[in-house]
Chains A and B, each alone.
Chain A
Amino acid sequence: MTGPADIIFYLLAAMTVGAAILVAILPNIVYSAIALLFSFAGVAGLYVYLSADFLAATQVLIYVGGILILILFAVFLSNRISDVKISNPSRFHWQAAFICLGLFGILSYTAVSTAFPVKAVLSYQPTTSEIGELLMTRYLLPFEVASVLLLAALIGAAMLSRPDGGRGRPAEMEEPKR
C-alpha cells in the first residue's frame, strides 16, 4: 500500500527518529532539549496517524507541555550547564553501547513477537471513554501502582529540595518579615 498516507507515516517516523538521534549526539544540552521537542511531536503525530487521538493529545500535554519544559527550566537555571564540557561529556561509551543494544534487543523482540490486534476497518471513534473504562476496571492495579510510584517520586523530590538534602529545616516559604 503506497499513497499519501504512507508518505506522511515515513515523514513522521523520520522526524521522530532523526530528532531522537540529534538528542543523543548534539553537544549542547539546550539543542538536545529542542530536538527532543520535535521527537515528542513526531510520536504524537504517529499516534494521530493511528487514530489514537486521546494518546496524541496527552503525549503533547504531558511530554511537550510539561516534562520538557521542566527539563529546560532546570537547564536555564544553571548557567554553566549550557557549557559544552559540563553538559554533555562523552564518557562510558562501551557500557552505554552494551546497555542500549540490550534494550534494543528486548524492545524489538517484544515488538515482533507480540500479536497486535489489527482493526480490519478503519474507524475514527472517540477512544477516550474506552481508555477511561479500561483504566478503572481491568488495568486498575497497574494504574494505581504507577500513581504510587509517582507519589513516591514527588515526596522524594520534596525531601531532596530541602536544604542539606533533607536533613535540614524546611525552606522558609512564608512572606518576608518586615
Chain B
Amino acid sequence: MNPLFDIAVSVARIAVFFAFVFGLVVVMTWVERKGAAYIQDRRGPNRASIMGVTLFGMFHPLADALKFLFKEDFIPDGAHRLFYQLAPMFALAPAILTMAVVPFGPPVTIAGKQVALHIADLNVGILYLFAVSGMAVYGIVLAGWSSNSKYPLLGGLRSSAQMISYEVSMGLSVVGILMVFQSVQLSAIVRGQGELLFGILPRWGVFVQPLGFILFVTALYAEANRTPFDLPEGESELVAGYHTEYASFKFSMFMMAEYIHLVVGAAVLATLFFGGWQFPYLGDSGFAFPGGISVAVPAWAVFLLRIGSFVGKTLFFCWLYVWVRWTIPRFRYDQVMRLGWKVMLPLALANIFVTGIVLLLIDRGGF
C-alpha cells in the first residue's frame, strides 16, 4: 500500500472530473446561445460578427467572461452585506459537491491496483446527491432575501417553494430504480444496467422504469430552474428573479452554479436511466449481440468506448436542456405547483406501488 499513490489517484480523479464539468459549463454557455439562435431563428451568435468574423459565435462567451471579471462589483444600499456576499457561495458550493458521486467509467487497473473512476463511491450515493443538491436552494433564498428588493425576494420564495415541491417527486421517482437494482450506490446501479432485458434490450433504467424516467426528467428540470420551470427568474415577471441585484463575478457564480447543476443533472440522468458508462451489448471482452453474433474488442477500446458512451450521453442530455428551453414556453406559477403536487406526486407513488408488485411477482413466479 503506497499512500502517495492513493493521494495521487484521488487528486487526479478530482482534477479530471472538475475539468470535465467546468469545461462543459463553458461549452454550455456557448451551446445555449447557438441553440437559441438556431431554434428561434435569431441573429445571435450565428450571424453577429466582428468585421465579418463570426468565429462560430465564440465572441459572446468571451465577452461574457471579460464582463464578469471587469465589471464593478457593488453591493446595493439596503442589502444585508454578509448574506448578500455569502449567497453566491451557498449557491456554488453544493453544485460543485454534487459531482463527487457520479461514476464516469468502469474501474481500471493501474500498476496492479483497482482504481474506480469515481471521486467518491459512497454507499448512499443517491441520497447524498439529493441531500447536497437540496442545499442549493439556500443560495437562491438568501440571495433573494438579502438583496432587499421586491423581485429577488419573490424569485427566492418561488424557487424555495418549487424546489421543495419537486424534490419530493424527484426522490420518489428514483425509488423504483433503487428497487429494481437493489442498491443506493451509483456504481452498483450502473453495473446492474449492464445485463440484458428479455435477451434483447439493454437493462437500462429507462426500459425498466419508463414512468420513473419521465417523472425524474420533469423534476430535474424543475430543480435546475430551467424552462419550463424557470419561474424563479422569469424575466418577463421578475426582471431576473433572485439574482437581479447581483453583478460581476457574484452573478457569474450563480450562473456557474446553474450550469454545473445542469451538467451534473445530465450525468446523473445518464447514470440512473441510460446505463452510465455501459455501452449497449458491450461486455468486458467485446460485443455480444442478441442474435448470437459476438465481436472481440481489445480491452483499451472497450474502456474508451465506455468512457465515450458516458460522455456522449451526458452531452446529449445537456443539449436536451437547451432544446427544451427554447422550444417550450414557461408555465404559470399555479400550474407548476399543481403539476408538482397533484400529478407528479401521485404518479410517483403509483410507480413505486406497481414496481413493488411486479418485483414481487417476478420473485414468486420467476418470469
Chain A residues in the interface with B (C-beta under 8 A):
30, 34, 37, 53-54, 56-58, 60-61, 64-66, 69-70, 72-73, 76-77, 124-128, 173, 175
Q: Is the CB of B134 within 8 A of A128?
A: no
CB of B202 within 8 Å of the partner chain: no
Task: Kindly count the residue-residue contacts between A and B in the assembled complex, taking CB atoms under 8 Å apart.
Answer: 77
Q: Is the CB of A73 within 8 A of B124?
A: no
Closest chain A residue to B185, Cβ basis: A126
Q: Is the CB of B164 within 8 A of A64?
A: no
- Interface footprint category on B: 20 to 34
User: With a CB–CB cut-off of 8 A, which chain B residues contact A65?
Assistant: 130-131, 134-135, 137, 167
User: With a CB–CB cut-off of 8 A, which chain A residues contact B138?
Assistant: 37, 69, 72
Q: Is the CB of A57 within 8 A of B135?
A: no
Cα distance, A66 to B171, chains bound together (Å): 12
Cα distance, A58 to B131, chains bound together (Å): 7
Query: Which listed residue, A61, A73, A175, touches B127 by the CB 8 Å rule?
Result: A61
Chain B residues in the interface with A (C-beta under 8 A):
83, 122-124, 127-128, 130-132, 134-135, 137-138, 141-142, 144-145, 153, 156-157, 160-161, 163-164, 167, 171, 184-185, 334, 338
Query: Given A77-B157, A128-B123, is A69 in contact with B130 using a C-beta cutoff of 8 Å?
Result: no
Q: Is the CB of B160 within 8 A of A69?
A: yes
Q: Is the CB of B130 within 8 A of A61?
A: yes
User: With a CB–CB cut-off of 8 A, which chain B residues contact A72?
Assistant: 138, 141, 145, 160
Query: Which listed residue, B163, B164, B334, touches A173 by the CB 8 Å rule?
Result: B334
27 pairs across A/B with beta carbons < 8 Å? A34-B83, A53-B122, A53-B123, A56-B124, A57-B128, A57-B131, A58-B127, A60-B134, A61-B131, A61-B134, A61-B171, A65-B131, A65-B167, A69-B134, A69-B141, A72-B141, A73-B164, A76-B141, A76-B153, A76-B156, A77-B157, A126-B123, A126-B124, A126-B185, A128-B124, A128-B184, A175-B334
Cα distance, A43 to B156, chains bound together (Å): 27
Q: Is the CB of B145 within 8 A of A30?
A: yes
Cα distance, A22 to B122, chains bound together (Å): 32
Closest chain A residue to B342, Cβ basis: A173
Closest chain B residue to A77, Cβ basis: B157
Closest chain B residue to A62, Cβ basis: B131
Nearest CB of A to B188, in Å: 10
Cα distance, A173 to B160, chains bound together (Å): 20
Query: Which listed residue, B127, B130, B153, B338, touches A54 by the CB 8 Å rule?
Result: B127
User: With a CB–CB cut-off of 8 A, which chain A residues contact B128?
Assistant: 57
Q: Is the CB of A70 within 8 A of B334?
A: no
Nearest CB of A to B91, in Å: 14
Q: Is the CB of A70 within 8 A of B164?
A: yes
Closest chain A residue to B123, Cβ basis: A126
Closest chain A residue to B129, Cβ basis: A57
